[in-house]
Structure 1
Amino acid sequence: MSDWILAIEGTEAAPRLAMALALLAAFLHAVFGALQKGRHDPLLARGVIDASYGLMAAPFAFFVVPWPEPHMWPIFAGAFVIHALYKWATLAAYRRGAFTVVYPVMRGTGPLFAVIGAWLIFGESFAPLQWLGVGVLLAGLYGLALWNMAHVTVARDTLVPALWFAVLTGLFVALYTTYDAYGIRAAADPFTFLAWFFFIDGLLYPFLAWAFWRRLPEKPPIGPLALRGVFGGLVAFASFGSIMLATRLDSVGEAAVLRETSTVFAAAIGWLFLKESIGPVRLALMGLIAGGAVIVEFGG
């Protein structure tokens, strides 16, 4: 797999594969977000997911992929700190606000700053038509958040801090997207970066979740939590791995924008599995999100 990825870098096939990977990451990220905002406390869900993908990644990191080059260790350390703060902000938003409100705000804040970061770090630039696409996508995302906020009936007393944490999460999304893109490009083998990232990233939150679980007066059973962790770990591998490979193969900014179609997939999941109604207004706003992503992809 590594040889194939390296072989198509810089070819005409790379942008097409990057687009497919970014859309796959969008769908899987919506699934991942729903897993964290399920019936378990978000910290518990996050802890078992991180434990699962950390344990899954360990044998690949130590015995399968090439060993990281010396210059990669400071990069891994930076990624660990950034993702730890990103998870803290995400959990704070999920604990205080409805998923349908905070998720679009998280995802809407990220792509704009990711595009700016890609310009500053990688020298990428968007054509005027692509900036129009970013505006259309952001209008859809924030419009969806405002619509959901006006109609939400749960957690209204904590809605304002939830939105602030959602905005902060979006800033961390932009930061880790550009930073991790730098990291995977700095590694000789992209799968070395992915394996070691997941192993290192899974070291903190399982212990925080375990400490929290021990303090609960009514402890949820371990079995369902563990099952959620294994499934979430597999989804995280595919989601994060897809978007990171996309940023290595093509534009970081375009990949970041395409991933934010995850909000459309999240609404579809809510409609299909949670029996949430969509309605004409939300459908139109999701059309703006999808249309903005199309403009960005093909407007360059």
Structure 2
Amino acid sequence: MTALLLSLEGTDAGRQAALWLALLAAFSHALLGALQKGRFDPWLMRGGIDLAYAVMALPFALFVVPWPDPHMWPILAGAFLIHAGYKTAQAATYARGAYTVVYPVVRGTGPLVTVLGAGLVFGETFAPGQWLGLGVLLAGIFGLALYNLRHVTENRDTLVPALGLAVLTGGFVAAYTTYDAWAIRQPPDPFTFLAWFFLLDGTLMPLLMRRRLAALPHADRWPFAKKAVLGALVAYISFGSILIATRIGNVGEAAVLRETSTVFAAAIGWLMLDETTGPRRVALMGLIAAGAVMVKLAG
């Protein structure tokens, strides 16, 4: 698998594979957000998901992938700190705002900053048509957030701080997307970074939530555990897909295409969380999809 991935870097086939991986990351990330926003408290659910994927990563990190070289430990520490900030801000956002309102703001803040960061770090450039597509996508994302803001009645008293936290979370999204795309290029085997990232990243939230996890009522433990394991598997797909996409393809394109997760989030919010939709939302989601297509075709 490692040899296949390395052979795809910088090729047209790798760019096409990165496209599909970014779309897979978009869907799975929206699903992960909905799982965190559902029945259980978002902080508690995040702790359960992280514990599950750390346990799953342990045997792979210790016995399957090559161990990190010494220079990788500070890089892994940097990833840990950025993701700790992201998850803390994300959980605080979901605890205060309706999912279909705050999620578009989180996802809309990230891609522009990521594209600029990818230009600085990796020397990537966007064609004029791609910038236009990015503008269309962002107009759809923020238009969807504004529409939801006007019509959603859930958590109105905490919505303003929730939106501020959503912008902060989006900043962390841009930071970890750019940093992780650089970090996964540092070891000879990209799966070394992936395995150790999930193992280390999965330790913080369970430690912070340990008392609440231990105090979970017995009747809730089995449903909570099943949801945590499902969330861990979805997290592997979400973060693993986008990290591999940024290794074998264009970082900026992958970051923009992942933001079609807002379309998936709206559908999931309607299907899973009983949050309403309508023709205006559908039109705005069409803008998001159209912008993503423009970014891809103009590249």
When the two structures are superposed, what TM-score results if normalisation uses the length of structure 1?
0.97
Match of 2:226 in 1: 227
What secondary structure, in the 3-state scheme, does the structure 2 residue paired with 1:185 have?
Answer: coil
Q: Count the aligned residue pairs.
A: 299
The residue that corresponds to 1:250 in the other structure is 249
Deviates more, 1:263-272 or 1:248-257: 263-272
2:193 maps to a residue whose letter is F
Residue 54 (structure 1) shift: 0.4
Distance in 2, Cα, partners of 1:188 & 1:201: 21
Residue in structure 2 matched with residue 280 of structure 1 by the alignment: 279
Deviation at 1:215, TM superposition (A): 6.9
CA distance in 1, matches of 2:91, 2:12: 40
* Aligned residues of 2:25 and 2:237 also touching (Cα < 8 A): yes
Partner of 2:194: 194
Q: Is the 8 A contact 1:213 1:219 kept in 2?
A: no
* Mapped contact 2:184–2:193 kept (Cα < 8 A): yes
List per-residue Cα deviations over 1:14-43 (Å, max 9, x = no partner): 000000000000000010000010110001
1:1-300 matches, within 5 Å, as 1-213=1-213, 221-300=220-299
Code of the aligned partner of 1:269: I
Per-residue deviation, residues 194-215 of structure 1 (Å, max 9, x unmatched): 0000000011101112223457
Pair 30,170 (structure 1): closer, same or farther in 2 beyond 3 Å: same
Structure 2 distance, partners of 1:264, 1:11, is: 29
Whether the 8 Å contact between 2:103 and 2:166 is mirrored in structure 1 is: yes
Secondary structure of the residue aligned to 2:246 is helix
- CA RMSD in angstroms, aligned pairs only: 1.4
SS in structure 1 at match of 2:188: coil
For the 8 Å contact 1:254–1:297, the answer to whether it is kept is: yes
Of stretches 70-79 and 267-276 in structure 1, the one that deviates more from structure 2 is 267-276
Runs of 5+ consecutive residues of structure 2 not aligned to the other structure:
none
Alpha-carbon distance in 2 for matches of 1:189, 1:213: 35
Cα deviation 1:131-188 (Å, max 9, x = unaligned)? 1111100000000000011001110000100000000000000000000000001121
Percent of matched pairs sharing the same residue? 66
In 2, Cα distance between equivalents of 1:242 and 1:280: 31
